Amino acid sequence: MLLLTRSDIEKIFTMKDAIEADKQAFSLFSQGRSEVPIRTQIPAPKANGTFLFMPSYVPDMDVAALKVVNIFPGNIDKGIPSSPAQVLLIDGNTGVVSAVLDGTYVTQLRTGAASGTAFDLLATREAKIGALIGTGGQAATQLEAMLAVRNLSEVRVYDLNAERTKNFAENMNEKLSSYGAKIYAVASSDDAVDNADMIVTVTPSSKPVFDATKVKKGATLSCVGAYQHHMQEMDPVILTRASKIYFDSKEAVLSESGDILIPLEEGLITEDDFTGDIGDLILGKIIGRESDDEIIVFETVGIGTQDLVTAKYIYDKAIAAGAGYTWE
């Protein structure tokens, strides 16, 4: 069994690799070629946390996977990830666990890559300005995904915690300098979204984190954080301004995300406003952006197929490179 730490993975696997893996995952998912039972959630009220178990199986790839990812929002103040996780990769022919990967990093990669996939397929070609709202554990890969798919000149980042925002912008200017974009910490979400072509929201907020009237025509949004019914980071007005609304999985989004469930229940939108799953866009079954003026929204809650395909792509590269530690 191969053990792969974050630093093992960082040496062999890029954001562009992660975006390729997610595209494959969304395509397999939309063709019904992955088995992804709805994840099991067990609340841990004592610690204000949730245990999540995400199984998946792709017969075509002879691989199954189980991600154990536990959401403990209080961890951020203890200096440890708020979604600690491991991914078990399982040989589909023998049932033997072939690898254990740092699931926190696999999650960050595949979640960033979901936004990267949406922006690659849906953002305007000439997009220049990015906005990132939320600078917690998932933020770095969201930022890198934006930079990996468009030639941005600047990205504005905003978080309720000003100190975290400033440190994040400083670190990212250094870490992602090869992309040539300037990363600015800004003082409000209005400053972040003003004139932005690509917008990511990645917070656990239960109330909208930006003002939809400030979003310019032609913008593409990826909303990542709302995974429970009461959670809502998207200003629902954006859904009435958007001409297209995509999901990683409509079924998964409608089973858990307040970003879409609340405006549906309030009658602000109906299911007729939904364009479809991004996998169907990749397969050419549904339409993409048709003009530079359209506002387009992508909502993602994450599907197990992303973890499986990402982990398998990492594993294959690790075997080829002789990376990681083999536990006999």
CA distance 247 to 253: 7
Q: How far is the CB of 223 from ligand NAD (least distance, A)?
A: 8
User: Applying CB under 6 A, does 134 fall inside the site for ligand NAD?
Assistant: yes
Q: Which of 24, 34, 70, 107 binds ligand NAD (CB under 6 A)?
A: 107
256 binds ligand NAD (CB under 6 A): no
Position 225 contacts ligand NAD (CB under 6 A): yes
Question: What strand order describes the sheet that includes 40-44?
Answer: 40-44, 49-58, 63-71, 85-91, 97-102, 2-4, 325-326
Nearest to ligand NAD of 311, 323 (CB atom): 311
In single-letter form, the type of residue at position 57 comes to: Y
Report yes or no: 73 and 80 within 8 Å, Cβ to Cβ: no
Q: Annotated catalytic, 67?
A: yes
Binding window for ligand NAD (CB under 6 A); candidates: 118-126, 174-182, 271-279, 294-302 = 294-302
Query: By Cβ distance, which residue is nearest to ligand NAD?
Result: 136
Would you put residue 182 in left (φ > 0), alpha (ψ -120 to 50) or beta?
A: beta
Minimum Å gap between C-beta 227 and ligand NAD is 5
Stretch that binds ligand NAD, among 26-34, 158-166, 174-182, 265-273 (CB under 6 A): 158-166
Q: 241 with 263: CB under 8 angstroms?
A: no
- Tell me which of 67, 244, 250, 312 is the catalytic residue: 67
Per-residue tokens: 80: 């440890």
Do residues 113 and 18 lie in contact, with contact meaning Cβ atoms separated by under 8 Å? yes
130 versus 225: smaller Cβ distance to ligand NAD? 225
User: Which amino acid belongs to residue 327?
Assistant: W
Asked whether position 136 contacts ligand NAD by CB under 6 A, the answer is yes
User: Which residues have a catalytic role annotated?
Assistant: 67
